């Protein structure tokens, strides 16, 4: 393993999830369905598994994030309930694609460049070094689509960290917190406040374990900070 990868892995272990949207600080966040396809730079193998229209997050009336989630999220087993679905997702599974129209700041106050990123599922390592840093261990790692261009091109945690870290100014991966649903997820995504100074998109998407299908529910944190 190269020094760069080691730095990236350590950074991911030390960084505990969350993205704070610069342009939306102090602004009311809302969601609405978008009406456009995923950006052209997204590879056909990934585009083919995405929902045709995005979930838009608006801050002050302007788009700050746009999410194209998967039509079906593959699961390792059928979850006991929609609320426990993230326990059944394999690490590095593609969850969707996100477009960031303008730069925003992450948990460490590092600038995340405007662009289009894949979102892949990962777990915070339970190695004793992260006690108290986050309420939940679930997160999405964001990777520029030019570095993650095939649906099955990234298959494990180390590959994911390396790809996400490659073009950041600090050698740190880009990460966004995921949470179990804090309430009942309806058919339409909505902004909720699951914890103090946190805002999330509460949503439900189809999941599939083998031949069985099941809805899965979770939250994507779009405003908030982890614990240092």
pLDDT tens for the chain, 228 residues long, are: 455 544 444 444 333 333 444 444 456 899 999 999 999 999 999 999 999 999 999 988 888 999 999 999 999 999 888 778 899 999 999 999 999 999 876 655 567 789 999 999 999 875 544 444 557 889 999 999 999 999 999 999 999 999 999 987 777 788 888 999 999 998 899 999 998 888 999 999 999 999 998 889 999 998 876 655
| 130, two tokens | 């992260």
56 in any annotated domain: yes
Is residue 206 domain-resident?
A: no
Q: What is the rounded distance in angstroms from the CA atom of residue 153 to the CA atom of residue 148?
A: 7
Is residue 222 in a domain?
no
Is the CB of residue 107 less than 8 Å from the CB of residue 86? Answer: no
The number of domains in the chain is 1
Q: Are the C-beta atoms of residues 162 and 10 closer than 8 Å to each other?
A: no
Report the candidate in 209, 202, 211 with the shortest Cα–Cα distance to residue 89.
209
- Residue 104 CB: number of other CB atoms within 10 A? 21
In a domain? residue 45: yes
Q: Is residue 46 part of a domain?
A: yes
What is the model's pLDDT at position 60?
84
Which residue range is the domain that position 118 belongs to?
A: 3-71+91-182
Does residue 207 belong to any structural domain of this protein?
no
Coil, helix or strand for 194? coil
Residue 29 inside a domain? The answer is yes
Residue 199 within a domain: no
pTM: 0.84
């Amino acid at each position: 393993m190269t020094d760069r990868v080691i730095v990236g892995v350590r950074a991911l272990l030390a960084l505990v999830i969350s993205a704070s949207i610069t342009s939306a600080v102090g602004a009311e966040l809302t969601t609405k369905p978008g009406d456009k396809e995923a950006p052209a730079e997204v590879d056909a193998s990934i585009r083919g598994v995405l929902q045709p229209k995005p979930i838009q997050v608006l801050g002050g009336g302007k788009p700050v994030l746009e999410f194209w989630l998967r039509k079906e999220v593959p699961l390792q087993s059928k979850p006991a309930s929609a609320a426990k679905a993230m326990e059944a997702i394999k690490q590095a599974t593609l969850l969707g694609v996100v477009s960031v129209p303008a730069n925003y700041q992450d948990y460490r106050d590092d600038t995340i460049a405007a662009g289009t990123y894949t979102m892949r599922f990962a777990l915070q390592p339970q190695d004793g070094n992260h006690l108290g840093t986050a309420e939940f261990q679930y997160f999405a790692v964001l990777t520029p689509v030019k570095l993650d261009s095939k649906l099955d091109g990234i298959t494990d945690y180390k590959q994911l960290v390396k790809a996400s870290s490659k073009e950041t100014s600090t050698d740190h991966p880009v990460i966004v917190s995921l949470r179990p649903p804090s309430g009942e997820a309806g058919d339409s995504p909505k902004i909720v406040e699951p914890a103090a100074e946190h805002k999330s998109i509460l949503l439900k998407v189809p999941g599939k374990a083998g031949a069985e299908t099941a809805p899965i529910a979770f939250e994507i944190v779009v405003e908030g900070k982890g614990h240092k």
